[in-house]
């Protein structure tokens, strides 16, 4: 079951790339201006994304640990957390589909905590070495994002710090293809991902994940 959850987290990152491009596209595009002239951009981009995934993994470990404590203190705690993660995921589907923008309120609240980190990130640019892009990415990994928040509730329902960390790491891997290609093909990718039909398909995929999270305990119980 853990393997299936990790695969689902990977697919969630892939499906949610449209939101990642909207939230982080400007940041990734600005990386080119922070890279020394005549230097290959890929090592710097990989450093940035390594830092971002490191922050996701740490956040997943924290929320997974908190979820484990909650499940030990509250009867049926894991089922409650799973339901919460499914509802967050459904809210994300509605958000991307532009049917309900409730998660924007949560992102605004997170922005208050994020704002003090922005000046800190500027200390690392322009990059003198690809390694300098790692702490820059670590800071930007805490950017307020409804998709990340939704996946964090999923990692909270995972039942352990290790599984929560792996969930967020695999989710981050899923976001890589869209963000790595953005800098080179943004003029082609942005129109595709912002197309209403593309957003509709992605919203349906995320809603299907939410339905699976809600119904899987019932299915397992019925089979058992």
Give the mean pLDDT of 112-124: 84
Among 58-62, 106-110, 220-224, which stretch is predicted with the lowest mean pLDDT?
220-224
- Cβ proximity of 59 and 168 under 8 Å: yes
Residue 156 confidence (pLDDT): 92
| Residues 53 and 170 sit within 8 Å (Cβ to Cβ) | no
Q: What is the pLDDT of residue 64?
A: 95
Euclidean distance between CA atoms 157 and 174, whole angstroms: 20
pLDDT, greater one: 107 or 193: 107
Alpha carbons 78 and 82: distance in angstroms, whole number? 6
The rounded distance, in Å, linking the Cα atoms of 70 and 68 is 5
Cis omega (within 30 of 0) for bond into 59: no
Rounded to whole angstroms, how far apart are CA atoms 86 and 178?
A: 24
Q: What is the pLDDT of residues 17-55, one digit of tens each?
A: 666 666 665 666 667 778 888 788 889 989 999 999 999
In terms of average pLDDT, the best of 56-60, 89-93, 142-146 is 56-60
- Average pLDDT (63-87) is 90
Most confident of 12-16, 113-117, 216-220: 113-117
What gap in Å lies between CA 164 and CA 185, rounded to an integer? 32
Q: Which two tokens stand for residue 167?
A: 């969930």
Question: Are the beta carbons of 142 and 55 closer than 8 angstroms?
Answer: yes
**Domain limits of the chain?**
2-223
Structural contact between residues 98 and 199, judged by C-beta atoms closer than 8 angstroms: yes
**Structural contact between residues 82 and 157, judged by C-beta atoms closer than 8 angstroms:** yes
Contact at 8 Å (CB) between 146 and 16?
no
How high is the pLDDT of residue 21?
63
Name the band, by pLDDT with cuts 50, 70 and 90, for residue 171. Answer: very high
Contact call for residues 121 and 48 (beta carbons, < 8 A): no
Mean pLDDT across the stretch 203-210? Answer: 85
- What pLDDT, on a 0 to 100 scale, did the predictor assign at position 63? 96
pLDDT of residue 65: 96
Q: Over range 86-103, report the average pLDDT.
A: 86
If you average pLDDT over residues 67-92, what whole number do you get?
A: 89
The residues, ordered by sequence, that sit 6+ positions from 197 with a Cβ below 8 Å of its Cβ are none
Token readout for 20 is 């990642």
The whole-number pLDDT of residue 59 equals 97
Q: Are 152 and 59 in contact (CB under 8 A)?
A: yes
């Amino acid at each position: 079951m853990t393997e299936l959850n990790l695969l689902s987290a990977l697919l969630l990152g892939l499906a949610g790339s449209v939101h990642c491009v909207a939230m982080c596209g400007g940041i990734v595009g600005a990386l080119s201006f922070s890279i020394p002239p005549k230097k290959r951009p890929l090592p710097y981009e990989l450093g940035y994304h390594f830092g971002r995934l490191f922050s996701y993994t740490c956040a997943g470990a924290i929320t997974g640990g908190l979820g484990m404590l909650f499940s030990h203190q509250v009867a049926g705690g894991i089922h409650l957390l799973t339901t919460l993660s499914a509802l967050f995921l459904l809210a994300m589907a509605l958000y991307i589909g532009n049917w309900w923008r409730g998660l924007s309120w949560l992102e605004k609240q997170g922005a208050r905590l994020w704002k003090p980190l922005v000046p800190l990130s500027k200390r690392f640019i322009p990059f003198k070495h690809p390694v300098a892009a790692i702490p820059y990415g670590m800071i930007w990994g805490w950017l307020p994002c409804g998709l990340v928040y939704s996946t964090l509730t999923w990692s909270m329902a995972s039942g352990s710090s290790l599984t929560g960390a792996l969930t967020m790491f695999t989710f981050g891997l899923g976001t890589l293809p869209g963000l790595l290609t953005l800098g080179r093909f943004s003029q082609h990718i942005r129109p595709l991902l912002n197309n209403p039909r593309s957003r509709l398909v992605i919203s349906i995929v995320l809603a299907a994940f939410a339905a699976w999270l809600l119904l899987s305990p019932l299915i397992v119980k019925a089979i058992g």
